[in-house]
Amino acid sequence: MSLLLSIVMPAYNEEEVIEVVVKQWTDLLARQFPTDDTRLIVVNDGSRDKTGAILDEIKPRYPKLMVVHQPNGGHGNAVVNGYRQAVVLDSEYVFQTDSDDQFITDDFTKLWAVRDKSPFILGYREERYDAFARLVITRILRLSIAAIYGTYIMDSNIPFRLIRGSFLKKLLAQLPTPTPFAPNIFLAVMAKKAGFNTFDIPITHKERLTGTVSILKWKLLKVCIQSFRELARFRLDLSSKVKALRKPEAVAA
């Protein structure tokens, strides 16, 4: 089985909006790729509400929807498991977004339009609608990455990214174990340090109206410290990791 595109979407306690978001993204796939084989892979990360049950109920109505259930392991763990599923499906491209309805599907085309220019393309929340504490932590992480790795990435953890499947397979092979709290940061750093243009394309970010914000207040600070320590340790291994990624990727036709 080989797919043109897989969309990876972690989900946790999104019963109020999950069907709306599934419809938005499967509609995009049907509209933009009517004759191509594509999938929306939703990883239900041990939701405590009805998210999992809703996904199972609506699956017959959305042929492009693939549902993966797992015990709660956190957002990063769910993202990586979704990535691995996309690689197993031999996806030529893998796009990742979140299930909280804070992004718009039209912005996908901005990343897709430059897919032949880089194997790793990031969006950038130019105006971000999140709690003040989260905005502060994002800025701290941005400066930390610049200090530790000597590279500047506008939105290294953004859940709105397009990765060539063959390159994602290489990245996952170099990802430290156990899975870091925020693996998307590590993937972005490795891609950038390997010399690829990540683009940082401005996209729309909407206010969150439903669901569960899983990390708040002091827990967010704790997570920030944990991520900083993981990034600092990873610096020792980065050179060898990057060497495995430097082989030029074939340019898509």
Q: Domains of the chain (ranges plus CATH)?
A: 3-243 (3.90.550.10)
- d(CA 202, CA 7) in angstroms, rounded, equals 19
Instruction: Dump pLDDT digits (tens) for 200-209.
Output: 999 999 886 6
pLDDT at 237: 87
The distance in angstroms from the start CA to the end CA of the chain is 20
Range from 67-76, 119-128, 209-218 that averages highest in pLDDT: 67-76
Averaged pLDDT of the chain: 90
Which residues share a beta bridge with 5? 38, 93
Spatial CB neighbours of 237, under 8 Å, sequence gap ≥ 6:
176
pLDDT tier for residue 231 given thresholds of 50, 70 and 90: confident
Grouping H, G, I as helix, E, B as strand and the rest as coil, residue 91 is: strand
Q: Which pTM was predicted?
A: 0.90
Distance of CA 246 to the CA centre of its chain: 22
Mean pLDDT in residue range 230-242: 88
- d(CA 156, CA 185) in angstroms, rounded, equals 5
Instruction: Dump pLDDT digits (tens) for 116-133.
Output: 999 999 999 887 766 656
Which residues share a beta bridge with 125? 203
Say which range, 113-122, 174-183, 212-221, 228-237, has the weakest mean pLDDT. Answer: 212-221
Place of tokens 């009805």: 50
Could you give the count of Cα atoms lying within 13 Å of 30 in the half-sphere of its Cβ?
Answer: 10
Instruction: Dump pLDDT digits (tens) for 74-85.
Output: 999 999 999 999
Q: Are strands 160-164 and 120-125 parallel, antiparallel or unpaired?
A: antiparallel
pLDDT at 253: 46
Share of the chain above pLDDT 90, in %: 68
Grouping H, G, I as helix, E, B as strand and the rest as coil, residue 4 is: strand
DSSP 48: S
The residue type found at 12 is Y
Q: Which of 72, 3, 11, 14 is nearest to 37 (CA)?
A: 3
The residue type found at 13 is N
Place of tokens 């060898």: 240
Q: Which of 213, 1, 182 is nearest to 78 (CA)?
A: 182
pLDDT at 85: 98
